[in-house]
Amino acid sequence: MTTTPTSHLAHAAEWFTIIPTAYGHDPLYLHGEDAGGRRGTLPAFIVRRPLGGTIVSSMPFLDGGGPCSSSVALDHALVTRLLEEASRRGADRVELRCAQRLKIAWEPMEHKVNLTLRLPADSARLWQGFDGRKLDDFYAIFSARMRELGSPAHARGFFAAVLEGFGERARVTLVRKGTTPVGGLIGLAHQDVLTVPWASCLSPYLKLCPNMLLYWETIGAACREGFQSFDFGRSSRGSGTYRFKRQWGADEQPLFWYTIPMDRRRARPVAAASRAAALLTGSWKHLPLAVTRTLGPRIRRYLTQ
């Protein structure tokens, strides 16, 4: 896998195996090399949905993606080829989640940003061994909180595949009140950055601020392990999660998310998509937790964001 300053967790080679293992989506990875010998990669997956058509996403379920090279021309060539491949496979649209603006005809959404905290230098130490029971505790918290937010949760098997794929570069951190797990997160290491793609706390315990302790301990461990940066993940500007992450001193980094329709005549209107999402969210909150844990993963596998 190509390593450049634009490389993100989404460009880690492990996803090539994790996403097909967990959800069965086919990888569509492109590689290129220019005349100067510079190499580039564009990872993507083909998400064939039973309703709503096929999406080619770089990368589904993650904050980043898009072309990864040190050449603007090579980036453009990779995107052009991806659009050709997506059209050939009958996709309705292509999604690109980039840390930089691309020189293409389409305009990106820019309302979301990444929040990253630079860490002080410290000595590294070995990762702690993973206890498989932590995943059960994390998933109980995560799936309950996602139901409250009106969002289908990933399958437990998805997280199991992530932890197996990243091995010693993955960790689960939990906060307990007594013996009860009340908050948890999953952290993944990529190069010198520790990223937290998924974190949740149980709402009845939020007044105790378990999220503060959860992140404090994780950031402290990242310092001791020698990471240079801590990536809180994406948030919409001005949101509650945005303010929470900013209070740690995290710097805002722009994100450029492109949605490129293959056929503008068949493109789903934004308003219609928003209404459908709002309907799902409103209904999901009122379903029994056991039902959402069963149905959620069947829906979530097709929701690329």
- Residue pLDDT, tens place only, 199-257: 999 999 999 999 999 999 999 999 999 999 999 999 999 999 999 999 999 999 999 99
Residue 296 CA to residue 199 CA, distance in Å, equals 17
Instruction: Name the token pair of 293.
Output: 């844990």
Question: Does 55 have pLDDT greater than 70?
Answer: yes
Beginning with the edge strand found earlier in the chain, give each strand of the sheet holding 112-118 in spatial order. 170-177, 180-190, 193-201, 229-236, 112-118, 251-254
Question: Does 124 have pLDDT greater than 80?
Answer: no
* pLDDT of the residue at 123: 42
* pLDDT of the residue at 6: 67
Q: If we measure between CA atoms, which residue out of 58, 61, 107 comes closest to residue 86? A: 58
Query: What pTM was estimated for this model as a whole?
Result: 0.89
Region(s) of the chain under CATH 3.40.630.30: 118-252
Residue 185 CA to residue 21 CA, distance in Å, equals 22
Where is average pLDDT lowest: 16-30, 170-184, 236-250, 260-274? 260-274
Question: Which DSSP category does 96 fall into?
Answer: E
In this structure, whether the domain defined by 9-112+254-293 belongs to CATH 3.30.70 is answered with: no
Determine the topology of domain 118-252 in CATH.
Aminopeptidase (3.40.630)
Where is average pLDDT lowest: 140-144, 152-156, 163-167, 259-263? 259-263
Pick the more confident residue, 281 or 172: 172
Burial 121-140 (b: 16+ CB within 10 A, else e): eeeeeeeeeeeeebbebbbb
Where is average pLDDT lowest: 129-143, 146-160, 206-220? 129-143
Where is average pLDDT lowest: 45-59, 124-138, 255-269, 275-289? 124-138
The tokens 């190509």 sit on which residue? Answer: 2
Which residues, 6 or more positions from 183, have their beta carbon under 8 angstroms from its beta carbon?
Answer: 141, 174, 175, 199, 200, 201, 202, 205, 210, 211, 213, 214
